[in-house]
Chains A and B, each alone.
Chain A
């Protein structure tokens, strides 16, 4: 059974750093595309970052240069290192497995999310 469990969310001051983790089971992170999607309180879904199985990384403009997506093969875990956090980064962060179709990528399994609150 595929499962994704996020952790690491916290209350953090503006300018601070945080690392989110997403522990996967039922499949191998290394051989799959993985993504982070966030949802601000009361708002819709926003794509944050994607890590291809080959290692290529992609970021939304709003987080480029501040966030880094990575994985640990031995722990079968996906990470999101978040630096220079801003109030507008406040959101629930979901980890998701991504699959590619003929012309597009979709997210077939999602974790329950972890809450990041950026506030002084």
Chain B
């Protein structure tokens, strides 16, 4: 089990929106550590999607947005496109484990 909990899967039709949650605890997200999000297309390396809770690297469409509240964070994807079909991971730091931690990953399917 991962320290950060994500739903195993989400899905949506093209053009619709989805939200992926990332639930932590008082030893990671709740302590104030940032949450970051990565997209991993099938058979490829992870790609940074959101850093510092809500910031997007250059080149990432504004259809992707991150937020954080309390011990949880969310990644919202609007205007779903076929190329968004991928695995998505959240990441933070856990002070109790003294370790950088990832969520278990969420497989996003475009119907």
Q: Tell me which of B15-23, B39-47, B76-84 binds A.
A: B39-47
A105 touches B100 (CB 8 A): yes
Q: Which of B65-99 contact A (CB under 8 A)?
A: 87, 89, 91-93, 97-99
Given A44-B2, A45-B105, A113-B45, answer yes or no on A106-B99 (Cβ-Cβ < 8 Å).
Answer: no
Please tell me if the beta carbons of B34 and A106 are within 8 angstroms of each other in the complex.
yes
Q: Do B93 and A45 touch (CB < 8 A)? A: no
Is A74 an interface residue, CB under 8 A from the partner? no
- Which label, helix, strand, loop or mixed, suits the secondary structure of the A interface? strand
Per-residue interface assignment for chain A, residues 82 to 120, with 1 indicating a CB less than 8 Å from any chain B CB and 0 otherwise: 000000000000101001011111111111110000000
On whether the beta carbons of A50 and B52 are closer than 8 Å, the reply is no
Contact indicator A110/B98 (Cβ below 8 Å) = no
Return chain A residues, CB-CB under 8 Å to B52: 101-102, 104, 106
B46 surroundings in chain A (CB, below 8 A): 37, 45, 94, 96, 107, 110
Do residues A45 and B102 form an inter-chain contact, with CB atoms below 8 A?
yes
**Chain A residues with a Cβ under 8 A of chain B:** 35, 37, 44-47, 50, 58, 60-61, 94, 96, 99, 101-113
